Amino acid sequence: MSARELPWTEKYRPRRILDVAGNEEAKKKYVAWINSWVRGKPTKKAALLYGPPGCGKTSIVFATAQEFNWELIELNASDVRSREAIEARVFSSSRTGSVAGYAGKIILLDEVDGISPREDAGGLQAILDLIERSAYPVVLTANDPWDPKLRPLRDVCELIEFKRLGKRDVVKVLESICAKEGITCDKEVLSAIAENAKGDLRAAINDLQTLAAGRKSISLADLQVLGERAEQESMFEVVRTVLTAKTPEQALSVTRLPSLDYEMLLQWLSENVVYQYEPSLQAIADAYDALSWADVMLSRMKREQQWALLSYALELMTAGVASARQRPPFKFVKYNFPEKLRLLSRMKEQREKFRRAVRLAARNLHVSTSTFKTEILPYIKVIYEHDRKKGEELLEKLGVRREDLEVVLRG
Ligand SMILES: Nc1ncnc2c1ncn2[C@@H]1O[C@H](COP(=O)(O)OP(=O)(O)OP(=O)(O)O)[C@@H](O)[C@H]1O
Ligand SMILES: [Mg+2]
């Protein structure tokens, strides 16, 4: 995906409730509830939309706001606890209509299952108060609503279950995106993407966008790329095991996985430990300490061929991280793909082009690639700056293809 391109999940987010695919029953129930608000006689003041990721829970609320021209007010647990925030955003002039020409408001508390009752003492109560006082529809979403701590919320909400989307629904959405993007794509490919996404439309759309990058048609051969998602998923599990382990032994158990990519694990843990361990700064500091030692061990291991160091590195990054002091109680966290790796893979293609071109040019000149890069390329760049045509000609004479010129001159 190029930096300028909007993620398709955002670009094609449903704009009207009817655009939300699948889940007919849930939509019916939701629309009935919304309509009861429109008529001024809400059946319940709040609705709790629950179900697996990527099936349209958050989207249907966004769509509602657009369709009715309501101001969407998104709150999180800490907003709700802060009286000022709530007063200012929800209740100020609430009963007299709102600014900017909106016809009303809708309040969204997304992912309420992330609330931890111990840290958010009073958070739950604050949500209940909000629902009680609100003059506007309040929508809560959750993946898992059955946690006992959410019981009081369940009691005051209209419960609406969203299910995994069926394969046919997923394929239909993908087809319509292809049509809008002017991409031709085998039906088989779309069906494989849908299969792979297991009812998660967000994942399916992301996969489609990845596959479609720079192409106008997608064939079965392009599908290999998707294999990577499976790898990513198992990494989620490994990270979760380490970051939520109750004992160091539990965390250590992941090192026995035959396919463990420990360098990858180090990146993933570095990216995500902070989300899991916040708000305890001490725990975060201790965990990063363990990770940095693991990093030191790994590079020493490679530099000095001291393979025995691997077991220390592994212990540090698993048991070491898991025994960070004052680890906060478990909470549900969505892990991220490490930013660094994402950047790397985006740049990988460019780097490969560069390497290929440089290797060829060096071979034609009978020098090593490093000599070419340090002793020859800089001069060609200087020539290029003064005389573009000459610089390009030189590179082309050395065998660099026209389409690779830019990468070489930038590299
Ligand atoms: N039923 C749907 N119809 C159309 N698009 C959808 C649907 N479900 C998901 N999408 C697409 O996937 C993206 C993510 O969906 P959404 O944010 O609604 O998921 P969610 O159910 O709230 O998931 P989570 O539990 O992870 O928050 C949307 O931006 C949209 O592009
Ligand atoms: Mg959501």
Residue 52 CA: nearest ligand 1 atom is 25
| Structural contact between residues 137 and 106, judged by C-beta atoms closer than 8 angstroms | yes
Structure confidence at residue 48 (pLDDT)? 97
**Alpha carbon separation from 265 to 280, 294, 321, 341, 358 (Å, rounded):** 22, 11, 12, 11, 32
Same domain, 139 and 183: no
CA of 50 to the centre of ligand 2 (A): 9
List the structure tokens of 235.
């990494």
* N-term to C-term CA, the chain: 21
Q: Which domain holds residue 190?
A: 167-227
Is pLDDT at 42 greater than 70 in this prediction? yes
Rounded to an integer, what is the distance from CA 208 to the centroid of its chain? 15
Same domain, 39 and 141: yes
Same domain, 243 and 254: yes
11 is a domain residue: no
CA dihedral 179, 183, 186, 191 (to 10 degrees): -60
Same domain, 180 and 238: no
CATH of residue 93's domain is 3.40.50.300
Is pLDDT at 269 greater than 70 in this prediction? yes
Question: Is the beta carbon of 14 within 6 A of some atom in ligand 1?
Answer: yes
CA of 45 to the centre of ligand 2 (A): 20
Mean pLDDT of 338-355: 70
| Structural contact between residues 106 and 61, judged by C-beta atoms closer than 8 angstroms | yes
Same domain, 186 and 307: no
Mean pLDDT of 83-87: 72
Same domain, 43 and 131: yes
CATH of residue 204's domain is 1.10.8.60
Same domain, 182 and 260: no
Mean pLDDT of 305-319: 91
Question: Is the beta carbon of 204 within 6 A of some atom in ligand 1?
Answer: no
Mean pLDDT of 58-66: 95
102 is a domain residue: yes
Same domain, 249 and 291: yes
Is pLDDT at 305 greater than 70 in this prediction? yes
List the structure tokens of 9.
């999940």
Same domain, 172 and 143: no
- Among 140, 161, 182, give the residue marking a domain's end: 161
Structure confidence at residue 219 (pLDDT)? 80
400 is a domain residue: yes
Q: For residue 94, what pLDDT band results from cuts at 50, 70 and 90?
A: very low
Structure confidence at residue 334 (pLDDT)? 77
Question: Is the beta carbon of 20 within 6 A of some atom in ligand 1?
Answer: yes
Mean pLDDT of 53-75: 93
Same domain, 304 and 366: no
331 is a domain residue: no
* Percentages of the chain per state (helix, strand, coil), in multiples of 5: 65, 10, 30
313-334 tens-digit pLDDT: 999 999 999 998 777 777 777 7
Question: Is the beta carbon of 338 within 6 A of some atom in ligand 1?
Answer: no
Question: Is the beta carbon of 145 within 6 A of some atom in ligand 1?
Answer: no
Q: Whose CA is nearest to atom 13 of ligand 1?
A: 202
Question: Is the beta carbon of 8 within 6 A of some atom in ligand 1?
Answer: no
Same domain, 27 and 137: yes
List the structure tokens of 8.
């398709």
Structure confidence at residue 96 (pLDDT)? 47
- The DSSP output letter for 87 is I
12 is a domain residue: no
CA of 90 to the centre of ligand 2 (A): 21
Q: For residue 113, what pLDDT band results from cuts at 50, 70 and 90?
A: confident
Is pLDDT at 227 greater than 90 in this prediction? no
Residue 55 CA: nearest ligand 1 atom is 8
The number of beta carbons lying within 10 Å of the beta carbon of residue 16 is: 11
Is pLDDT at 230 greater than 60 in this prediction? no
13 is a domain residue: no
- Among 227, 260, 275, give the residue marking a domain's end: 227
- Among 161, 190, 208, give the residue marking a domain's end: 161
Structure confidence at residue 315 (pLDDT)? 95
Pocket test for ligand 1, best of 12, 15, 55 (most atoms within 8 A of CB): 55
5 is a domain residue: no
Question: Is the beta carbon of 53 within 6 A of some atom in ligand 1?
Answer: yes
Same domain, 377 and 393: yes
Question: Is the beta carbon of 112 within 6 A of some atom in ligand 1?
Answer: no
Per the structure, how many domains does the chain have? Answer: 4
Structure confidence at residue 210 (pLDDT)? 78
Structure confidence at residue 224 (pLDDT)? 62
The residue with greater pLDDT, 320 or 354, is: 320
Between CA 261 and CA 24 the distance in angstroms is 42
Q: Strand, helix or coil at 142?
A: strand
CA of 51 to the centre of ligand 2 (A): 10
| Range picked from 93-97, 141-145, 169-173 for highest mean pLDDT | 169-173
4 is a domain residue: no
